[in-house]
Amino acid sequence: MKQTYALIQMDIAFGDPQTNFRHAEEWIRKAVKTSTADTILLPELWTTGYDLTRLDEIADEEAAVTITFLKRLAKELNVNLIGGSVANRVGQATTNTLLVVSRKGDVIKQYSKAHLFRLMDEEKYLTEGNMDGRFVLDNQKSAAVICYDIRFPEWIRTHMVDETKVLYVVAEWPKQRIDHWRALLISRAIENQCFVVACNRAGTDPNNEFGGNSMIIGPWGEIIAEAGQTETILTGTVDVEEVEKIRATIPIYSDRRTDLYKLQ
């Protein structure tokens, strides 16, 4: 089954949700108008950016505003939305939560970032998630993770052992480590024999410059599409069924020695 993805590599207004909602809607509508996308991706923390010190003011209470926004556009435009991630306020805690909304307007997954990135002070302002990122979208077993999560191959493999074929990644990955971004994504695709669809942000905030380079990668590690560093919409079409052929060629899942793998 062929799937077309549109990755919205947008700049994010620091700590300004209203501006970011307007900006994201413009990009989503443009992606629908200029492509045949089945699924559109937004980047990590796209409503607020990394304005973490003001999350008490600008976080989205139970992600309600963002969910309403995504459901409206998904139904109107008949497109699936991997709605990036948002600062989600639940009680006294704020999580970095990814939202998946189907073309019917159903929220089919909420995943909160499991690994908080200390170099950007996430652990001071955010609460880590404790659930996996698995879901089914357009009848395909899929999974989604957020930014720093991709540095943990054991976490990614946990998502892939149940015949999952597509891994979605949303991020705000800094420019100075963009070589790591590329290498890690390609490695995750090869070692899990899956498609990786990864949307990073562009632009700057008061403390960081972000690297862009959103990517669509095939299960052999081949780069199907890659963006530069500026705002853009990256599109690409894949045949998801190729995963089965590749996994039959090199059967890494049946050859695993789980009796020897003891993680500490």
Q: What mean pLDDT do residues 144-157 have?
A: 98
Q: Tell me the per-residue pLDDT of 34-83, one tens digit each, with 9 for 90 and over.
A: 999 999 999 999 999 999 999 999 999 999 999 999 999 999 999 999 99
- Token representation of residue 39: 């699924």
Position 218 scores a pLDDT of 98
Catalytic residue among 44, 71, 122, 172: 44
Q: Tell me the per-residue pLDDT of 155-183, one tens digit each, with 9 for 90 and over.
A: 999 999 999 999 999 999 999 999 999 99
Sheet holding 215-217, edge to edge: 134-137, 140-146, 166-170, 195-199, 215-217, 223-226
147 has catalytic annotation: yes
Please, what is the end-to-end C-alpha distance for the chain in angstroms? Answer: 39
Dihedral of the alpha carbons of 234, 38, 139, 158, in degrees to the nearest 10: 20
Rg (CA), the chain: 17
Instruction: Using the CB atoms, write b or e for 149-181: b if 16+ within 10 Å.
Output: bbeeeeebeebbeeebbbbbbbbbbbbeebeeb
- Token representation of residue 123: 């652990």
> Nearest-CA neighbor of 182 among 223, 236, 142, 153?
223
Compute the distance between CA of residue 107 and CA of residue 176 in angstroms, rounded to an integer. 35
In angstroms, what CA-CA distances link 122 with 53, 145, 148, 206? Answer: 10, 16, 11, 16
71 has catalytic annotation: no
Position 261 scores a pLDDT of 87
Catalytic residue among 71, 122, 141, 147: 147
Residue 32: which pLDDT band, with cuts at 50, 70 and 90? very high
61 has catalytic annotation: no
Position 134 scores a pLDDT of 98
Q: Tell me the per-residue pLDDT of 193-227, one tens digit each, with 9 for 90 and over.
A: 999 999 999 999 999 999 999 999 999 999 999 99
Q: Degrees (nearest 5) of the Cα angle 183, 189, 192?
A: 130
Catalytic residue among 109, 113, 141, 165: 113
Contact present, 142 and 165 (Cβ < 8 Å): yes
Q: Secondary structure of the chain: what % helix, strand, coil (to 5)?
A: 30, 30, 40
